[in-house]
Amino acid sequence: MPEPERALLCHVLETPGEAIPAAARDAARVFILDTLAVGIAGTAHEDQPGIIAAASRWGAAGAATVWGEGTRLPAAQAAFVNAFQAHALEFDAIHERAVVHAMTPTLAAALAEAERQGGVSGARLVSAVVFGLELACTIGAASRGPMRFFRPATAGMFGAYGAVARLRGFDLAKGAAGAGLLLGQIPGTMQAHHEGGMALAVQMGFAAGAGLRAADLAEAGARGPEGWLTGASGFLAMTEPEHDLAPGLAALGRTWQAQALSHKPFPSGRLTHPVIDGLQRLRAGETIDPASVREVRLHLPPLAMRLVGRPLHDDLTPNYARLCLPFVAATTLRFGTVGLADFTPARLTDAATLALAAKVRLIQDANPDPNAVVPQTVEVQHATTARVTVEHTLGSPANPLSREARIAKAVSCLAAARRPRADVAALVAAVETLDTAPDLGALMRAASG
């Protein structure tokens, strides 16, 4: 087995849970709450009933719960549905350096596996999630080139697998066998992103399910390639040919990826968030009448141009609009923020918003890093020209959300679900006490609704 593969798997499978620092466990719990809340909100996505119907045809009864629904499916199918729901509204947490929504497939797979096993303590679940994130984010952050495949799903599937392998107590040989079996399941075409369709969230579901399928195959004796990560046709060569894994390997056990995750305070592409933040700062500093705006100039790094620089269309769909920076910027200028209600038909066809969006100009800056989210500079030309540069994205470790803001987001998510819920207290309590919970009963009751 190549040394990088060995080092990563030894870290994920053999490091004692007690070695995880308290700050990393705290961060994991914070983002477990966020992901569950966002996944519950995802039950309201228009395609969610069809996703459940399809998954039910692959196995109609099982041991794992669909978040926000209470429906039970086999573990891989439940993980698929839950990861879809968690990404469907573009509201799930992200690791900015890796550009990976790693918590989504990792938690979806970990919870499905824990329910399937039964008797898993909250502490074991948290540990599995932490180590799944270590695998997904170390691999994702190794990229030094532009995104060629949809990295949240491609790297994310390793997080799903790492968490499941940890929960099953795989040794190094079995862990390697399953990791190699992920290669044939890589689920991440960027074409879905270019077109702005719901297939992006489906790919996140595939990533979560792949982790369970690979573990099942390894447990049955199947073996994948040993050079699954660094081999001549391994994961990095196929999906991230420009990469440097050495810094990530050197950081194992010293810094923890759970602490590098970022909240998304707005339900739109992460690369739109610095612009939303910048426009909010400008609005707070001076009165900007949207009707008087002559032009909005956004100076963006290459990644933002690629991921959210899509052109404005008259027939916007919610999936497309969440990743359309002109629409998101215009919405912020008109209404002061961006929320779940801004992607309803009434808002997507609002003539004043679309007219303002047509005045948004996107300008690529000279940032040499193809994976940089910030800095982004926002200029609004009206009676004067207002300008601000955002260096740290709102919700990132350098500019974090307060606990009150995190709870408010969870409240809004539960209220937006297909079956709206007003009380978030049970979910918050179940997550915040996970490290002392003897099992996951309280958590799953709160998550199932």
Check which CATH number belongs to the domain holding 369 and give it. Answer: 3.30.1330.120
Q: Are 253 and 11 a contacting pair, CB within 8 Å?
A: yes
Determine the 3-state secondary structure of 72 from DSSP: strand
Report residues of the chain scoring pLDDT below 70: none
> Do 100 and 48 fall into the same domain?
yes
> Do 330 and 415 fall into the same domain?
no
Domain range holding 33? 3-265+403-448
Q: What is the pLDDT of residue 202?
A: 98
Buried b (16+ CB within 10 A) or exposed e, 225-245: bbbbbbbeebbbeebbeebeb
Any domain includes 341 = yes
Q: Are strands 295-300 and 376-381 parallel, antiparallel or unpaired?
A: antiparallel
> Do 37 and 170 fall into the same domain?
yes
Helices (H) then strands (E): counts for the chain: 22, 8
| Token output for 358 | 């047509």
> Do 141 and 240 fall into the same domain?
yes
> Do 77 and 196 fall into the same domain?
yes
Tell which of 341, 366, 390 closes a domain: 390
Q: Are strands 72-73 and 376-381 parallel, antiparallel or unpaired?
A: unpaired
> Do 299 and 423 fall into the same domain?
no
Tell which of 390, 413, 432 closes a domain: 390
> Do 170 and 218 fall into the same domain?
yes
Q: Are 393 and 292 a contacting pair, CB within 8 Å?
A: no
Indicate the helix (H) or strand (E) that contains 425: helix 425-432
Which residues are CB-neighbours of 79 under 8 A, at least 6 positions away? Answer: 64, 105, 108, 109, 111, 112, 113, 160, 205, 208, 209, 211, 212
Q: Are 26 and 37 a contacting pair, CB within 8 Å?
A: no
Any domain includes 398 = no
Any domain includes 375 = yes
Nearest one of 352, 419, 9 to 175, comparing CA atoms: 9
Count of the separate structural domains present in the chain: 2
Any domain includes 354 = yes
Tell which of 341, 365, 390 closes a domain: 390
Any domain includes 274 = yes
> Do 322 and 416 fall into the same domain?
no
Any domain includes 397 = no
> Do 348 and 423 fall into the same domain?
no
Check which CATH number belongs to the domain holding 240 and give it. Answer: 1.10.4100.10
> Do 255 and 324 fall into the same domain?
no
Q: What is the pLDDT of residue 173?
A: 97
Any domain includes 395 = no
Q: Please tell me the distance from the alpha carbon of residue 75 to that of residue 163, in angstroms, as a whole number.
A: 14
Cα-Cα end-to-end distance for the chain:
45
Any domain includes 200 = yes
Vertex 202 angle, CA 198 and 206, to 5°: 165
Q: Please tell me the distance from the alpha carbon of residue 296 to that of residue 249, in angstroms, as a whole number.
A: 42
DSSP state of 183: G
> Do 274 and 316 fall into the same domain?
yes
> Do 246 and 276 fall into the same domain?
no
What pTM was computed for the model? 0.97
How many CA atoms lie less than 13 Å away from 316 in the CB half-sphere?
28
DSSP bridge pairs for 73: 64
